[in-house]
């Protein structure tokens, strides 16, 4: 939900005081600590809630072009190239099979990292090293467990309620799959990713845009399948496999980036706060100079009509 600053209409709010019910922008809070998400209300001196970029995030349907450009940054292109081309040149023995499997795991790890990276406010892709180093490879096992449990839920529904209940269970699983992927990427919890109530709450909090995104994801999946089929039927086998693998990886990154951005856009409804992180100096812009705090206090008191207070503040200064 978009909130404007109480003192600067049109300026997106970054802080909210629950006691005073006032929204403040960064101009009102020059001394706030966004890294620690801590600031005190200028009126009551109580700690305020940090809103992050929740009030200024562009709706995802206005960023379709940016989503399609996302995989063509240097880092994701390198990940796609390594994971697509290397399996084509390795031998077909056991070592080649292991290398191919490891690269597939790395690509899947990178796609899940894209969701959490985007949800945290990074609109640029994560670095190449994220795919091949550090922890996080367990996400593959977790995702397989999620699929197995969802299949078990459908089978249980068929045993208990027959074909009708099984059909309803399948419909819910298909509808909730993007939500399940988002939850798994953010929480790394299998139970949270398969809990129907948890998924239903996430979908309800996002609301209609979730279903709009779902339509985009279906179109992306169909486009990816059509493009890969075209490659396989119109090119030589070696070129076709390379092109199909590249297209599949590219569309997957677009899809996962969209899921992460949906989390970023609806962070306030989902109960967390993150801000745009790609500006390297954003975290260092916390100017603690008291003159900036003084100017902000003067500005707010003038707009509140507290002229005597402003006069005394100026005399004291």
139 shares a domain with 26: no
Count of alpha carbons within 13 angstroms of residue 39, beta-carbon side: 30
248 shares a domain with 233: yes
Residue 288 — very low, low, confident or very high, per pLDDT cuts 50/70/90?
A: low
Beta bridge partners of residue 40, listed in sequence order: 47
67 shares a domain with 151: yes
182 shares a domain with 46: no
| pLDDT, mean of residues 294-303 | 87
248 shares a domain with 99: yes
| pLDDT, mean of residues 138-160 | 90
48 shares a domain with 78: no
Domain total in the chain: 2
Q: Token match 């951005």: residue? A: 261
Write down the pLDDT at residue 289: 54
Write down the pLDDT at residue 161: 84
The answer to whether residue 28 is domain-embedded is yes
Residue 180 — very low, low, confident or very high, per pLDDT cuts 50/70/90?
A: very high
The answer to whether residue 183 is domain-embedded is yes
Q: Are 186 and 263 in contact (CB under 8 A)?
A: yes
3-state secondary structure 41-89: CCCCCCECEECCCCCCCCCHHHCHHHHHHHHHCHHHHHHHHHHHHHHHH
74 shares a domain with 43: no
234 shares a domain with 98: yes
**Which of residues 277 and 31 earns the better pLDDT score?**
31
| pLDDT, mean of residues 55-68 | 85
Q: Are 118 and 91 in contact (CB under 8 A)?
A: no
Q: Name the pTM for this structure.
A: 0.77
The answer to whether residue 281 is domain-embedded is no
Say if residue 217's pLDDT is above 70: yes
44 shares a domain with 190: no
Say if residue 84's pLDDT is above 90: no
Instruction: Show the domain range for 216.
Output: 62-266
Residue 279 — very low, low, confident or very high, per pLDDT cuts 50/70/90?
A: low
Write down the pLDDT at residue 284: 43
68 shares a domain with 39: no
**Which of residues 177 and 288 earns the better pLDDT score?**
177
The answer to whether residue 6 is domain-embedded is no
298 shares a domain with 207: no
What gap in Å lies between CA 113 and CA 253, rounded to an integer? 10
| pLDDT, mean of residues 238-267 | 88
Residue 285 — very low, low, confident or very high, per pLDDT cuts 50/70/90?
A: very low
The answer to whether residue 92 is domain-embedded is yes
296 shares a domain with 255: no
**Which of residues 285 and 289 earns the better pLDDT score?**
289
Say if residue 290's pLDDT is above 80: no
Say if residue 258's pLDDT is above 90: yes
Write down the pLDDT at residue 139: 87
The lowest-confidence range among 230-239, 274-283, 293-302, 304-313 is: 274-283
What letters, b where the CB count within 10 A reaches 16 and e where it falls short, cover 134-162? eebeebbebbeebeebbeebbeebbeeee
3-state secondary structure the chain: CCCECCCCCCCECCEEECCCCEEECCCCCCCCECCCCECECCCCCCECEECCCCCCCCCHHHCHHHHHHHHHCHHHHHHHHHHHHHHHHCCCCHHHHHHHHHHHHHHHHHHHHHHHHHHCCCCCCCCCHHHHCCCCCHHHHHHHHHHHHHHHHHHHHHHHHHHHHHHHHHHHHHHHHHHHHHHHHHHCCHHHHHCHHHHHHHHHHHCHHHHHHHHHHHHHHHHHHHHHHHHHHHCCHHHHHHHHHHHHHHHHHHHHHHHHHHHHHCHHHHCCCCCCCCCCCHHHCCCCCHHHHHHHHHHHHHHHCCHHHHHHHHHHC
Q: Are 43 and 17 in contact (CB under 8 A)?
A: yes
């Amino acid at each position: 939900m978009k909130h404007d600053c109480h003192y600067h209409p049109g300026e997106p709010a970054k802080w909210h005081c629950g006691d005073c019910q006032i929204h403040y922008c960064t101009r009102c809070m020059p001394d706030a600590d966004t890294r620690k998400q801590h600031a005190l209300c200028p009126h009551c001196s109580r700690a305020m809630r940090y809103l992050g970029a929740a009030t200024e995030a562009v709706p995802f349907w206005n960023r379709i072009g940016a989503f399609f450009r996302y995989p063509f940054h240097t880092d994701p292109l390198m990940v796609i190239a390594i994971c697509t081309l290397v399996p084509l040149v390795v031998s077909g023995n056991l070592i080649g099979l292991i290398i191919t499997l490891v690269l597939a795991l790395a690509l899947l790890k990178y796609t899940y990292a894209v969701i959490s990276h985007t949800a945290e406010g990074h609109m640029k892709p994560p670095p190449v090293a994220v795919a091949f180093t550090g922890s996080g490879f367990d996400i593959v096992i977790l995702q397989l467990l999620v699929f197995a449990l969802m299949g078990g839920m459908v089978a249980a529904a068929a045993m208990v309620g027959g074909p009708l209940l099984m059909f309803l269970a399948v419909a819910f699983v298909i509808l909730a799959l993007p939500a399940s992927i988002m939850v798994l990427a953010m929480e790394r919890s299998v139970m949270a990713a398969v809990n129907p109530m948890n998924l239903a709450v996430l979908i309800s909090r996002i609301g209609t845009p979730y279903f709009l995104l779902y339509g985009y994801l279906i179109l992306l999946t169909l486009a990816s399948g059509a493009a890969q089929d075209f490659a396989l039927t119109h090119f030589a086998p070696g070129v076709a496999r390379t092109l199909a693998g590249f297209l599949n990886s590219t569309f997957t990154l677009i899809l996962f980036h969209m899921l992460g951005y949906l989390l970023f856009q609806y962070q306030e409804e989902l109960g967390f706060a993150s801000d745009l992180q790609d500006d390297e100096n954003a975290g260092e812009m916390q100017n603690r100079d008291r003159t900036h705090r003084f100017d902000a206090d003067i500005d707010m008191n003038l707009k509140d009509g507290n002229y005597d207070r402003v006069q005394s503040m100026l005399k004291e200064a």
